[in-house]
Structure 1
């Protein structure tokens, strides 16, 4: 009976493959999937009501988990620093290193006479690297601060005009020979508005993870499993609760949306300009806040290219995603005022190389076997990416990202210089810790992801075998003399989105292993892959729907045994920020030095000096510039 069930399932898979092939060869649009629900019969109306009810339930759960996550990270941040009872200067001091540097520009925009004055001051800044004048929008990816600054100014003006109180102020007695300070609570306080916007975006991110899990697994329980896995491994998924102003806090939630759009495009029967526009828009929103976005996007385009080389998407869909990435890169390059690091990045070089492979498709088709086609395409991608990267960097004399290559070099060789040692002395730039792997294992996240990967690969291999057998039978019936195994670029197959996520997870695994900080890509994607346990197509062999759902619920329960204890350890963190020596230093600078004084010193201290005193500095923690290094 089990063999018969498997045969029926693979027969359905093959039918879907044939449907995809037929659609790819037609110019007309495919019929809507739910076209049968458009009738006026009672049955059609009932099905429509069920579909509408399911969508309402999905959106309700998405909003619920989003609110829970926003409250979760907000409460942990408050418990760690007692942020609500700090003075303005103390709150600014909590934003250490580059966080203070980013926040200082938000402060500049909201304190300027007008928004335009504040924006222009960031584009002609001579305080950050005195005596040089730089465009910090170009250098530091500060668009989040620009929009938040505009948002706060608008919010503050409207609420004052309407007479709405948005904050409450108190006088806090600090004791320990420290003078009392005034502090304000409420969204009308600039610092509160700033972090509240970040925590709201984290809520949106969790809602997106739920929707992503539902879409990938085709089941609501898949979304719930994804969300619970993220919560149980929260400390290994993000650090926004400890460091809100970092660029990843703004950018990563947008990347989740962008991956969801790419998944939707891969699963769709046809691709069009709507896919290009949506993906490109998400890429721009991802790249503008974070200079590291280019590396994540490079892994994505290579992963999608992998689905193309194995024949799971056709040339049209590969071009669609390529166009979206190219358009997104170009728009980001313009909005970042011609940031040379984008144009000379490995990401841009990979895009150029894949375009070359696509243009040479007719040449690859002439090769006699799939293996030769695959080797040729992959070799051209590798050689082209390295060649374009170094050629563009040499032509434009750009060395701003040279320290990144040296950092990777130092990981596997004895090479070291001042800059690599400065990075590698920090734990987050070291190799992935065994402690992290053990935590993810105790919550069953890594074992679960491994099982899912095996199930996906098994499903794809069997599907490939059935399609291959069907091709052989058809050719024998027609006495065809054509090649038995058609080149994959002419025969797209279903489940491209599953293969893409396998490749994407592989890339994130390598990134996290080399640099522990990048586990923020790796761990959430493991959680996302776990949603496939709810897929009836992959794990329907477990039994009936009740048995299948019982298995998923039991998995959530087992994950929670260790996951809740890890959450509890985060909830137990209680603290109160205080740094009296630095506060004394900043007060001395403001009281005893002229306003045109210029300071140099330790990078974290310089960020605080610029933020709290407004004095000029000559060095700062943002390291992605050859001249500053």
Structure 2
């Protein structure tokens, strides 16, 4: 994790000073520089629908690729610069892809990352168990297959140039094409997210019952792109691999809720999509918890029958078990609220027929809700205690800190980062300007009114002795589910800003229901539907096109000379087994680009790693140098990379590292931070062996 805002070195479109010259013998020697009529969708065939879906997929792939290139000038960066551009967690994840492709064989590469003593020196860890690295494992196998195949058939896979960087910097080699590891890696990520956009179009079309709905979904996504995804800025993050499969999973779930019976094929596909969503991302379990909660609500109020509901739960259980096996027994999966909730709800659903009580429906619903909540919390606590797992304890503490004055070191490490703060006040205003928020509120209210009518009708039928016929209901179960899921995503986004990446795309899908005859047939009976939708689209375009232009106008060129000097010094002036400690983002770069052992890293989801990082970050506390040195020696650290920015930078009040440490170490409050002392004079406990305007490398005096 990056606990402070990412910085990007950006310039104007005319500030890019790089030019490049083709290497002799490459295939190309050219010099490169950078610098409707309305159609009713009901008359378009299924083939045309798939063709449109493919088109919007390619369009999104091209769009995010362009934004990524514009932001970094990626095509003109050297291998080292591209690795540095993968900051913090991104660099850590990419390092395992690099390890596998550079190993003598694919299997030896797998063996290497499954017995890794570099990431948390001196401990040996199975990174496949800890870090959700299956995307890198799959991409590395595809890369090795691709390059081997192209080599056999004699096709060049990359073109290389010598890039003149200007500003008295030395020239570097820059290669472009799928034969370059970094290019291959990001290209496949962008292709996957292009396919996600195709799925969004199909999803919106199916949910709304109109191809206009699919068009609205895609349009809203593009017009709110900066609120919907970060893939164009941070491609290696887990959400880039995982979220497209959540879209697939929710689309399949919509199909299952809409169809009368759940077939085995649908159940199998739901299970597979669950696995592909959970495997790449440790946070997926929390999203699926909100889904199970939403499904439980529609089950309780009678929109889904017990048999179908239980089959959905079984699919989730099987996929959870498969992920547990594939992640070599990752205990966080078994002790999650998601796993406990599945078991408790399954027991409730199985026992419902035996626990029918004579009470008002709403009281019965509340009772079932309380049983679920209390049972889930109790079972989660029990399994965590039995298995001795505390890796996700910080999640509860983060939520606790949102509503109380509670603070501790780990909580502040999260909440001091803007992406873990409450949603920005500007975010709803951005939704409003593109009309996304008004449209979704209208859709949500229409579902609520229709659902309330269903509940009243159902209650009346029950009181009069009539049979409740689900087929006569005005609202279908999948619409109620989507409304509840919207509430869940909204709650997550308000609490933690970065989670609006779930909320915004779901709002785009919900916007497709503006075209639903089921919800708004009473409007369409009075107004011309195509004309009504066209007016809405035109109003959306006013701000939406401006948002797209703003993104396309972001021009920059990645450059981090200070870190480049640091990494080059490490590679040429230290032994291959030299052990480093420092800020988490920097440690990821050190591991990726130099291969040196590190003792801490940015994947902050493990209790042991959090304890390690806390010990390392005592360098930024007010503790005596002798005490901090002893901690580092006990961890086997030989070099500490000191960064002044981590010593003095404050994202908000109480968020400098020394202030965070004051919560944990009140006995030293008021003293000068150790990092400030060592920035001036490192002796006698440390020797300064390298220094530039950003980094200072201290050798531990043992």
TM-score (norm 2): 0.79
Task: Name 1:65's counterpart in structure 2.
Answer: 56
User: CA offsets, 1:312-338, max 9 Å, x none?
Assistant: 000011101101111111100110111
Task: Name 2:331's counterpart in structure 1.
Answer: 340
For 1:51 and 1:571, locate their aligned partners in 2 and report how far apart those are by CA, in whole Å. Answer: 33
The reply to whether residue 437 of structure 1 matches residue 418 of structure 2 is no
Task: Name 2:506's counterpart in structure 1.
Answer: 525
For 1:591 and 1:203, locate their aligned partners in 2 and report how far apart those are by CA, in whole Å. Answer: 41
Q: In the TM superposition, what is the alpha-carbon distance from 1:463 to its structure 2 partner?
A: 4.2
Task: Name 2:148's counterpart in structure 1.
Answer: 157
Q: In the TM superposition, what is the alpha-carbon distance from 1:195 to its structure 2 partner?
A: 0.2
Task: Name 1:506's counterpart in structure 2.
Answer: 487
Q: In the TM superposition, what is the alpha-carbon distance from 1:568 to its structure 2 partner?
A: 1.3
Task: Name 1:110's counterpart in structure 2.
Answer: 101
The reply to whether residue 305 of structure 1 matches residue 296 of structure 2 is yes
Task: Name 2:176's counterpart in structure 1.
Answer: 185
Select the structure with the greater relative contact order (CA < 8 A; seq sep ≥ 6): 1
After TM superposition, the structure 1 stretch with the greater mean CA deviation from structure 2, 137-146 or 419-428, is 419-428
Task: Name 2:681's counterpart in structure 1.
Answer: none
For 2:278 and 2:159, locate their aligned partners in 1 and report how far apart those are by CA, in whole Å. Answer: 37
After TM superposition, the structure 1 stretch with the greater mean CA deviation from structure 2, 371-380 or 297-306, is 371-380
After TM superposition, the structure 1 stretch with the greater mean CA deviation from structure 2, 246-255 or 591-600, is 591-600
For 2:460 and 2:383, locate their aligned partners in 1 and report how far apart those are by CA, in whole Å. Answer: 47
- Choose from 499, 512, 517 the match for 1:536: 517
Residue correspondence of structure 1 range 449-528 to structure 2 within 5 A? 449-466=440-457, 482=465, 495-528=476-509
For 1:543 and 1:256, locate their aligned partners in 2 and report how far apart those are by CA, in whole Å. Answer: 29
Task: Name 1:608's counterpart in structure 2.
Answer: 589
- Secondary structure of residue in 2 paired with 1:600: strand
- Secondary structure of residue in 2 paired with 1:169: strand
- Choose from 535, 539, 542 the match for 1:558: 539
Task: Name 1:243's counterpart in structure 2.
Answer: 234
After TM superposition, the structure 1 stretch with the greater mean CA deviation from structure 2, 429-438 or 354-363, is 354-363
Task: Name 1:421's counterpart in structure 2.
Answer: 412
For 1:544 and 1:248, locate their aligned partners in 2 and report how far apart those are by CA, in whole Å. Answer: 42
Instruction: Indicate conservation of the 8 Å contact 1:468/1:485, yes or no.
Output: no
C-alpha distance 454-215 of structure 1, shift in aligned 2 (>3 A): same
Name the count of aligned residue pairs: 570
For 1:51 and 1:490, locate their aligned partners in 2 and report how far apart those are by CA, in whole Å. Answer: 25
- Choose from 232, 245, 265 the match for 1:274: 265
- Choose from 439, 460, 466 the match for 1:448: 439
User: CA offsets, 1:18-44, max 9 Å, x none?
Assistant: xxxxxxxxxxxxxxxxxxxxxxxxxxx
User: CA offsets, 1:522-572, max 9 Å, x none?
Assistant: 011111101001111211222359811111121111111111111111111
Instruction: Indicate conservation of the 8 Å contact 1:315/1:489, yes or no.
Output: no
Task: Name 2:115's counterpart in structure 1.
Answer: 124
Q: In the TM superposition, what is the alpha-carbon distance from 1:142 to its structure 2 partner?
A: 0.2
Residue correspondence of structure 1 range 275-294 to structure 2 within 5 A? 275-294=266-285
- Secondary structure of residue in 1 paired with 2:528: helix
Q: In the TM superposition, what is the alpha-carbon distance from 1:177 to its structure 2 partner?
A: 2.3
For 1:468 and 1:419, locate their aligned partners in 2 and report how far apart those are by CA, in whole Å. Answer: 49
For 2:279 and 2:383, locate their aligned partners in 1 and report how far apart those are by CA, in whole Å. Answer: 22
Task: Name 1:195's counterpart in structure 2.
Answer: 186
- Choose from 242, 250, 254 the match for 1:259: 250
TM-score (norm 1): 0.88
After TM superposition, the structure 1 stretch with the greater mean CA deviation from structure 2, 369-378 or 99-108, is 369-378
- Secondary structure of residue in 2 paired with 1:215: helix
- Secondary structure of residue in 2 paired with 1:617: coil
Task: Name 2:689's counterpart in structure 1.
Answer: none
Task: Extract unaligned runs of 5+ from structure 2.
Answer: 1-40, 611-702
| Structure holding more helix per residue | 1
Task: Name 1:141's counterpart in structure 2.
Answer: 132
For 1:590 and 1:88, locate their aligned partners in 2 and report how far apart those are by CA, in whole Å. Answer: 14
Instruction: Indicate conservation of the 8 Å contact 1:247/1:290, yes or no.
Output: yes
For 1:384 and 1:464, locate their aligned partners in 2 and report how far apart those are by CA, in whole Å. Answer: 27
Task: Name 1:580's counterpart in structure 2.
Answer: 561
For 1:157 and 1:382, locate their aligned partners in 2 and report how far apart those are by CA, in whole Å. Answer: 53
User: CA offsets, 1:188-215, max 9 Å, x none?
Assistant: 1110000000000110111111011000
C-alpha distance 546-68 of structure 1, shift in aligned 2 (>3 A): farther
C-alpha distance 413-363 of structure 1, shift in aligned 2 (>3 A): same
The reply to whether residue 569 of structure 1 matches residue 550 of structure 2 is yes
Q: In the TM superposition, what is the alpha-carbon distance from 1:406 to its structure 2 partner?
A: 0.8
For 1:212 and 1:572, locate their aligned partners in 2 and report how far apart those are by CA, in whole Å. Answer: 30
- Secondary structure of residue in 1 paired with 2:482: helix
For 1:261 and 1:185, locate their aligned partners in 2 and report how far apart those are by CA, in whole Å. Answer: 38
Task: Extract unaligned runs of 5+ from structure 1.
Answer: 1-49, 476-481
C-alpha distance 545-260 of structure 1, shift in aligned 2 (>3 A): farther
C-alpha distance 344-489 of structure 1, shift in aligned 2 (>3 A): farther
For 2:580 and 2:114, locate their aligned partners in 1 and report how far apart those are by CA, in whole Å. Answer: 21
Q: In the TM superposition, what is the alpha-carbon distance from 1:373 to its structure 2 partner?
A: 2.2
Instruction: Indicate conservation of the 8 Å contact 2:450/2:474, yes or no.
Output: no
Q: In the TM superposition, what is the alpha-carbon distance from 1:364 to its structure 2 partner?
A: 3.1
